[in-house]
Amino acid sequence: MLEDSGFGPVEIGPAVDTFGGAKGEDKARAFDVYGYAFLARKPS
Amino acid sequence: MAEDLLVDPATLREQVRDKYRDVAVAPHAEHHFHTGRPLAARLDYDQTVVDAFPDRAVESFAGVGNPFSLRRLAPGERVVDVGSGAGFDSFIAAGHVGVTGEVVGIDMTPEMLTKSRQTAEALGFAQVSFREGLAEAIPVEDGWADAVISNGVINLCADKQAVFAEIRRVLRPGGVLQFADIANGRPVPPEALSDIDLWTG
């Protein structure tokens, strides 16, 4: 979606267990949800 | 509602605003996500920097990742924080860009804006300001920003294409979008995709 929006190649960081131990953990586990960092540039 | 959107943007926005109002005024209540200093530690923020912040700068932090983990902002950069909440990431950014840089936080929740503005003043961060606005209509001029940051916000927007187009508009050519957000590794059933309660937890 980022590249479709006119950004360059996307760098993605490792998965982070954002919801582990929180009330929303069960729902996150059901869909394998994790947090990620993303980095992309607007072309010059 | 646009035909290709899964939920009504205005309805979703209102539910998100309600949820984050609670995080602003009752940060220590039980939410479906972690908040505050424990969350910052979990997401590997610089502990020394976080420890130096007063509680009010950290307690309502509700991000899902670390937008600074792939790139540290440079001194002097102009930064937009989309969905700045109570300001935690904006304050981290202020430390990176220094007094020659500028950070503009954008948020739609009045209670978050009040809190972030008061904290910026208490911290003496003259290079940080907060504006009321939406991710789909960022109140910043074209090409102003060297970098856009965001944390756990874009997944809560119904029209992500519109959000990315708006971020692209406010970035200068060559500018950087560095953000954190959630992604699912297993497909979500069609009926769940349109369940607004799932979007807001």
pLDDT tens digits along B139-169 = 999 999 999 999 999 999 989 999 999 999 9
How high is the pLDDT of residue B130?
Answer: 98
Enclosing domain of residue B13: 9-200
**A22 to chain B: nearest residue by CA?**
B33
Nearest to A32 among B160, B178, B186 (CB): B186
Q: What is the DSSP letter of B144?
A: -
Whether B20 and B85 have beta carbons less than 8 Å apart is answered as: yes
Residue A39, both tokens: 């980095």
Contacts of B195 (CB under 8 A, 6+ apart): none
Specify the amino acid at residue B84. S
Q: What is the DSSP letter of B78?
A: E
Residue B11, both tokens: 């309805």
* B4 inside domain: no
Q: B161 vs A5: CB contact, 8 Å cut-off?
A: yes
Whether B76 and B102 have beta carbons less than 8 Å apart is answered as: no
Q: For A3-42, what is each residue's pLDDT tens digit?
A: 889 999 999 999 999 999 999 899 889 889 999 999 999 9
* B77 inside domain: yes
pLDDT of residue B4 exceeding 80, the answer is no
pLDDT of residue B3 exceeding 90, the answer is no
Q: Which of residues 49-88 of B touch A (CB under 8 A)?
A: 63-67, 69-71
**CA B36 – CA B116 distance, rounded (Å):** 14
pLDDT of residue B1 exceeding 50, the answer is no
**CA B192 – CA A27 distance, rounded (Å):** 12
* B159 inside domain: yes
- B52 CA to chain A: closest CA distance, Å? 23
- A1 CA to chain B: closest CA distance, Å? 7
Q: What is the ipTM of this complex?
A: 0.95
* B14 inside domain: yes
What CATH number has the domain bearing residue B55?
3.40.50.150
A13-39 as b/e: b if 16+ CB within 10 A = bebbebbeebebbeebeebebbbbbbb
Of B137, B146, B94, B140, nearest in space to B116 by CA: B94
Report yes or no: B197 at the A interface, CB cutoff 8 Å: no
Q: For B42-83, what is each residue's pLDDT tens digit?
A: 999 999 999 999 999 999 999 999 999 999 999 999 999 999
Under an 8 Å CB criterion, which residues of A touch B?
1-2, 4-7, 11, 13, 16-24, 27-28, 30-44
Q: B168 vs A5: CB contact, 8 Å cut-off?
A: yes
* B2 inside domain: no
Q: Total structural domains in chain B? A: 1
Mutate to test the interface with A, among B80, B178, B193, B198 (most CBs of A within 10 A): B178
Strands A11-12 and A33-41, bridge-based pairing: antiparallel
* B1 inside domain: no
HSE value, Cβ hemisphere, 13 Å, CA-based, for B43: 33
